[in-house]
Amino acid sequence: MPVRAPSISRRSQHAFSMMELVVVVGVLGVLSALAIPAFQGMFSDSKRIIATEVLETLNRGLKNHAQSNYEFVLAADNDSTDDEMAIVRSLQWRDPLDPATGAPYLRPNWNPSTSSSAEDFRLQWNGRTFTLIEPGTDGSGVKVNFEATDYGGNYNFPDDFVPVGG
């Protein structure tokens, strides 16, 4: 009697056993448990890097303004954010009658908000430069917005606007 080869339909019916599936799911669970905390640390580090970049942009604008014009002299007020906003608006302003070289020193379409929430990254004026206040620390300042919703139309300066020290 001749030996018959197995039919094609029987050979194509291979599948994973229940034990193999349980092992694969278990390995994926262990890898996920190890990877998720590492990714959470990366997310908070990326926010700190972005906040530092915004801080450097502000301080670079201060430096450029001081080189072309004068250094801002404004006492820090830790109980208010008026000092921070006065500096930001002064860096965004360009005198239409006598424009300073390089003005504006910050993008005029940046419309930041302020915050005193210990959950936010904030930029605080210390009387000479801006410093970074990290979450978990008390203090008020310009809020670092990570969604870019603080960019839009140019800020409209009132006709009687006077920059800090102007």
Q: Is residue 159 predicted with pLDDT exceeding 60? A: yes
Q: Is residue 4 predicted with pLDDT exceeding 80? A: no
* pLDDT one-digit tens code per residue, 9-25: 555 567 888 888 888 88
Please list, residue by residue across 30-44, b when 16 or more beta carbons sit within 10 angstroms of its beta carbon and e when fewer do: eeeeeeeeeeeeeee
* pLDDT one-digit tens code per residue, 104-142: 999 999 999 999 999 999 999 999 999 999 999 999 999
Q: Is residue 52 predicted with pLDDT exceeding 80? A: yes
Element (H, E) at 155: none
Residue 131 CA: distances (Å) to CA of 98, 119, 152, 161: 31, 16, 25, 26
Nearest to 49 by CA among 160, 134, 143: 134
Q: Average pLDDT, whole number, for the chain?
A: 89
Q: Is residue 160 predicted with pLDDT exceeding 70? A: yes
Range name among 12-21, 50-59, 79-88, 93-102 with the lowest pLDDT average: 12-21
Length of the chain: 166
Instruction: Quote the pLDDT of residue 5.
Output: 58
Return the higher-pLDDT residue of 41 and 139.
Answer: 139
